[in-house]
């Protein structure tokens, strides 16, 4: 269903499944950003037999060095003042970078790395704005390198099951989707304020966790193009100095710095006559804003919400349908996974780079995710429905 212009960038396959790893052919990896999520990346990279972590940088002096020391990785060059300096160091012979920077620093390092012939694993959300995502994709097209976006829930067998159910035809024609989720008190400030300040995050709950719930349903139904968005966002909790989620007496300081959304909602029209009803919260006076539901002419799927939404399935899913004139419910049990999602995210990325196969989480799909996020922000600002216009890549 995606654009003609997306052809060739739009072939998601689980390329890595079942392929043996050639440990003699090592991938030379550089880290851009050495904060919280980089900690998950490094453990998963270290678990691969075909990886050499050769460099890392962070805007905070000394942070990259301390990071590699913490994980016991020796011989990593870290004396760089910026990602540009690191990428320009041709003695490193880098193959790929993993970009673990805050949202406002996703686009620039990704473009610079791609334009310098490197494969890129870029953390979610893709970018802050649609225009940035378009610029990154243009660099991807120029370079011919792999760009994969860090949506590890894609690797979850339960998520794959949702897609299989939608594709099986058991739901008939899908016409309405409700998705989203949230936390009661869950504004992320574990290691500081990079998630809540506009200058670093740019978007709040909408981009941080909203992107996951959008991906869960949009990937399941083949990523139809968004056409119009009527969006809303607010920040009642984050800007409240008495918000009980701010610990250690930080309420006064954090509430002043808070410059993004902590709640967003939208009504989105998608190509193919499908409507999407979405809401996401970092904080709310409620347990959940509702399960995810996918309604079709032959059946509907209910995906239970989770208490702390981060892109997982909250329990056994149910399909409501008709069987020989009876209203029946089929329960789809949760699949327990042996592998970690972060390991699979890293492995599938490496395999795509080494085998020349499509990115496991391709930008051409996540572009539509970003277009909805961007549309919600713009519509909320304008106070009316807006048309989604996606530039040519």
Ligand X SMILES: NC(=O)c1ccc[n+]([C@@H]2O[C@H](COP(=O)([O-])OP(=O)(O)OC[C@H]3O[C@@H](n4cnc5c(N)ncnc54)[C@H](O)[C@@H]3O)[C@@H](O)[C@H]2O)c1
| Distance in angstroms (rounded) separating the CA atoms of residues 385 and 323 | 40
Q: Contact, 132 vs 107, CB < 8 A?
A: yes
The residue with its CB nearest to ligand X is 35
Q: How far is the CB of 391 from ligand X (least distance, A)?
A: 23
Residue count, binding to ligand X (CB under 6 A): 26
Among 1, 46, 47, 60, binds ligand X (CB under 6 A): 60
Neighbours of 262 (CB within 10 A): 29
Q: How far is the CB of 119 from ligand X (least distance, A)?
A: 17
* Residue in this structure with the two tokens 């072939």, named with its chain if needed: 11
- The string over 198-213, giving b where at least 16 C-beta atoms fall within 10 Å of a residue's C-beta and e elsewhere, is eebbbbbbbbbbbbbb
Distances (CA, A) of 193 to 67, 251, 257, 270: 19, 12, 8, 34
Q: Contact, 353 vs 202, CB < 8 A?
A: no
* Residue in this structure with the two tokens 């780079």, named with its chain if needed: 353
| Distance in angstroms (rounded) separating the CA atoms of residues 198 and 258 | 7
Closest-CA residue to 355 (of 43, 119, 139, 46) = 119
Site for ligand X in 207-266 (CB under 6 A): 208
Q: For residue 150, state whether it binds ligand X (rule: CB under 6 A).
A: yes
Q: For residue 35, state whether it binds ligand X (rule: CB under 6 A).
A: yes
| Distance in angstroms (rounded) separating the CA atoms of residues 203 and 211 | 11
Q: How far is the CB of 150 from ligand X (least distance, A)?
A: 5
Q: How far is the CB of 7 from ligand X (least distance, A)?
A: 28
Among 152, 158, 178, 230, binds ligand X (CB under 6 A): 152
Among 16, 68, 97, 102, binds ligand X (CB under 6 A): 102
Q: How far is the CB of 389 from ligand X (least distance, A)?
A: 25
Q: For residue 123, state whether it binds ligand X (rule: CB under 6 A).
A: yes
Q: For residue 347, state whether it binds ligand X (rule: CB under 6 A).
A: no
Q: For residue 193, state whether it binds ligand X (rule: CB under 6 A).
A: no
Among 10, 44, 48, 101, binds ligand X (CB under 6 A): 101
Cβ distance to ligand X smaller for residue 150 or 238? 150
Q: At 155, list the tokens.
A: 């690797």
Q: For residue 103, state whether it binds ligand X (rule: CB under 6 A).
A: yes
Among 30, 33, 180, 204, binds ligand X (CB under 6 A): 33
Q: For binding to ligand X (CB under 6 A), which residues are involved?
A: 32-38, 57-60, 63, 83, 100-103, 105, 109, 123-124, 150, 152, 191, 194, 208
């Amino acid at each position: 269903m995606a654009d003609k212009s997306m052809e060739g960038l739009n072939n998601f396959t689980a390329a890595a499944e079942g392929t043996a790893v050639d440990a003699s052919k090592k991938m030379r990896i550089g880290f851009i950003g050495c904060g919280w999520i980089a900690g998950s990346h490094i453990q998963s990279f270290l678990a691969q037999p075909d990886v050499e972590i050769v460099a890392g940088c962070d805007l905070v002096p000394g942070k990259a060095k301390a990071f590699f020391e913490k994980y016991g990785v020796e011989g990593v060059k870290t004396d760089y003042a910026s990602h540009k300096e690191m990428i320009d160091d041709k003695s490193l012979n880098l193959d790929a970078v993993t970009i673990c920077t805050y949202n406002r620093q996703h686009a620039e390092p990704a473009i610079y790395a791609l334009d310098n012939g490197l494969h890129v694993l870029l953390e979610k959300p893709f970018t802050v704005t649609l225009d940035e995502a378009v610029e990154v994709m243009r660099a991807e097209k120029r370079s011919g390198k792999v760009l994969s976006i860090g949506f590890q829930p894609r690797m979850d067998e339960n998520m794959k099951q949702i897609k299989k159910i939608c594709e099986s035809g058991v739901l008939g024609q899908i016409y309405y989707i409700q998705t989203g989720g949230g936390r009661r008190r869950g504004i992320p400030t574990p290691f500081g304020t990079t998630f809540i300040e506009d200058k670093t995050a740019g978007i709040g709950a909408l981009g941080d966790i909203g992107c996951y719930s959008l991906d869960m349903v949009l990937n399941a139904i083949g990523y139809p193009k968004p056409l119009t968005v009527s969006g809303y966002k607010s920040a009642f909790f984050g800007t409240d100095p008495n918000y009980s989620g701010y610990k250690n007496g930080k309420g006064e300081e954090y509430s002043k710095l808070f410059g993004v959304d902590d709640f967003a909602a939208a009504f989105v029209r998608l190509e193919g006559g499908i409507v999407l009803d979405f809401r996401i919260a970092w904080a709310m006076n409620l347990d959940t804003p509702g399960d995810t539901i996918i309604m079709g002419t032959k059946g509907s799927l209910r995906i239970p919400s989770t208490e702390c939404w981060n892109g997982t399935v909250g329990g056994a899913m149910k399909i409501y349908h008709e069987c020989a004139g009876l209203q029946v419910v089929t329960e789809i049990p949760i699949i327990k996974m042996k592998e970690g999602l972060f390991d699979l995210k890293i492995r599938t990325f490496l395999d795509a780079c080494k085998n020349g196969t499509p990115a496991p989480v391709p930008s051409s799909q996540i572009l539509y995710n970003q277009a909805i996020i961007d549309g919600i922000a713009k519509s909320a600002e304008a106070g009316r429905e807006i048309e989604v216009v996606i530039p040519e890549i």
